[in-house]
């Protein structure tokens, strides 16, 4: 009889501690979608960015190459999937594959904005659940973990079989908004779908919340505001949402809030996707100031004076440090309640 294989666990008294591979050296790699954010995160972690290059050829092919040894290292590749969405997403897959083939010990896909999160269900006949396809592709490429921020549909975390850490920008945005000391403030969700998120903003700021009700026509960006649930007369209002593309929802809601007697209108979004012309429309709207994060860097138009960008690099850096040191990431959510607390 052959001897039993060696155990992959360590015995310590009555309990067994599962085997864990020793952590490798921390490495940060920034793809072409988020070079500034990647550099800021690396500086906050006190590491030098891993040199790399991404080439986009004239026929549309993407080529990536890691220019330093990553064997046995824990690599965090920072690459969002914003516009150009498919190029950036394919580049992310290629980075993961290149790092695994270069014998990186662990590869974490840090996706500041996960664009296909909107495709989370089969809500029409014969359509793809695009977010699930993307999740499968990220796993198939070899990602060991995913770190992202403000998924449009948080349940997408369940599409992955690898661990997913989901950060929220509202804590960083609310920290900035508090410094403005806006009086008589109320938070407004532009639709019932973000009511829970708007309530979290309101709780962090210690102000009331009102809810909008909108209707979208087809797959375009045209929206119609049907109702506002709550009183905004004489109040300053903060519109809160996870992202904005054309600005249409925020602009229309701001107009309706003004007609209901609101004073100054502000907006806060985690991801300023901002398609062509959106920045100019927001600049000319009833929105006094919009706050967004730096999860997206390449906007088609210059940002106007009434759009303020707040960096989430410190939050991502702290999350990466916690993951690398194997400490809890939940401490990054000050509005989260401990289990058992009401």
Rg from Cα positions in the chain: 22
> How many angstroms separate the CA atoms of 236 and 187, rounded?
9
CA distances from 314 to 8, 166, 201, 262, 300 (A): 36, 15, 19, 34, 26
CA distances from 114 to 21, 148, 235, 318 (A): 29, 7, 34, 20
> How many angstroms separate the CA atoms of 93 and 316, rounded?
20
Q: Is the peptide bond before 22 cis (omega within 30 degrees of 0)?
A: no
Q: Look at residue 213 and give its three-state secondary structure.
A: strand
> How many angstroms separate the CA atoms of 37 and 294, rounded?
7
**Cβ–Cβ < 8 Å for 205, 235:** no
| 143-176: burial string, b at 16+ Cβ within 10 Å, e else | bbbbbbbbbbbbebeebbeeebbbbbbbbbbbee
Backbone phi, psi, residue 35, to 5°: -65, -40
Residue of 36, 39, 196, 214 with catalytic role: 214
Residue 297 is encoded by which pair of tokens? 């860097």
Residue 222 is encoded by which pair of tokens? 């045209």
- DSSP string for residues in 35-56: HHHHHHHHHHHT-PPPPEEEEE
> How many angstroms separate the CA atoms of 137 and 139, rounded?
5
- Tell me whether residue 214 is one of the annotated catalytic residues: yes
Residues that are catalytic: 214
């Amino acid at each position: 009889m052959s001897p039993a294989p060696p155990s992959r666990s360590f015995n310590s008294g009555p309990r067994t501690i599962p085997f864990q591979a020793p952590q490798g050296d921390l490495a940060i790699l920034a793809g072409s979608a988020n070079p500034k954010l990647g550099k800021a995160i690396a500086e906050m972690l006190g590491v030098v960015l891993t040199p790399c290059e991404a080439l986009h050829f004239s026929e549309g092919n993407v080529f990536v190459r890691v220019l330093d040894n990553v064997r046995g290292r824990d690599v965090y590749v920072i690459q969002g999937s914003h516009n150009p969405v498919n190029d950036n997403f394919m580049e992310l897959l290629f980075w993961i594959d290149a790092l695994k083939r270069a014998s990186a010990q662990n590869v974490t896909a840090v996706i500041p904005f996960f664009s296909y999160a909107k495709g989370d269900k089969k809500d029409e006949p014969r359509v793809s659940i695009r977010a699930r396809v993307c999740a499968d592709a990220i796993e198939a490429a070899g990602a060991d973990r995913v770190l992202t921020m403000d998924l449009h549909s948080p349940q997408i975390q369940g599409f992955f079989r690898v661990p997913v850490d989901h950060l929220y920008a509202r804590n960083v945005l609310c920290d900035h908004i508090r410094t403005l000391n806006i009086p008589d403030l109320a938070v407004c969700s532009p639709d019932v779908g973000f009511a829970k998120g708007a309530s979290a903003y309101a709780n962090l700021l210690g102000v009331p919340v009102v809810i909008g009700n909108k209707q979208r026509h087809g797959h375009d960006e045209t929206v119609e505001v049907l109702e506002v649930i709550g009183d905004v007369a004489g109040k300053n209002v903060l519109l809160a949402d996870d992202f904005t593309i054309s600005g249409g929802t925020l602009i229309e809601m701001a107009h309706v809030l003004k007609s209901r007697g609101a004073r100054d209108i502000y907006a806060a979004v985690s991801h300023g996707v901002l398609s062509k012309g959106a920045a100019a429309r927001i600049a000319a709207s009833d929105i006094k100031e919009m706050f967004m994060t730096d999860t997206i860097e390449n906007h088609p138009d210059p940002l106007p004076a009434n759009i303020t960008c707040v960096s989430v690099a410190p939050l991502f850096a702290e999350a990466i440090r916690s993951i690398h040191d194997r400490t809890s990431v939940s401490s990054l959510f000050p509005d989260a309640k401990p289990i058992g607390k009401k």
